[in-house]
Structure 1
Amino acid sequence: MRKGPALLTIAVVVALFALSEHARQQRAELPDLHGMTLRAAQLATRDAGFGHLAGADALDRHRVPLWGDNWKVCSQQPRPARYATTTLITVRVVKTTEACPGP
């Protein structure tokens, strides 16, 4: 039996695990996104080091916010604080011409 391919497989698995652990340990400050356009929020979270931002219709009309400059952020989850950079940030948005829903 050849040990080369088995050792290479083990080395790759160990390296991938180490990289995933390192990514989980990376932390950054999540800014307050309230009032920004969706596009500005996307840029702000990316610049802060986060890679996952999802937009949802704050009026629950099942609209998909495609053009980031046409939507504004009403709320965000999680709130501004320090988080792992792998954290999913969800913003609830409305069209820029609409008012955010009340609490």
Structure 2
Amino acid sequence: MYKNIDMTKTGILLKETIKKGGYTVKDIQKILHLSCPQPIYRWFRGNVLPSVDHLYVLSKLLGMHMEDLLVTEQDDISLTELCIDRILDHKWLYEYRTRLCVKECA
């Protein structure tokens, strides 16, 4: 069974990760060659997801895997957890998801 992406939590994750990476919305707008910042704010609100191209660039910029920038509905991550400093520790996120997969596959 495929997991659905939780757009609201993904938006919060993107916002916090970009912020903690030291980038502003204006910086991301320039890097992604967007004519206006509105798409970025739509991502942050969970209205839409970034395109695969934009997600790829963000992952390289932030030094994370693309899938680590997405939160699925089955990821038991609270909104509080998304806002803490360790979210940039993608090793923690990878280990968390690995443990989750082991539980689901068992």
Same fold (TM over 0.5): no
Between Structure 1 and Structure 2, whose CA radius of gyration is higher? 1
**Greater strand percent: which structure?**
1
Could you say which TM-score interval applies, normalised by the shorter chain? under 0.3
TM-score, length basis structure 1: 0.26
**Greater helix percent: which structure?**
2
Q: Which has the higher contact order (CA 8 A, sep 6+)?
A: 2
TM-score, length basis structure 2: 0.25
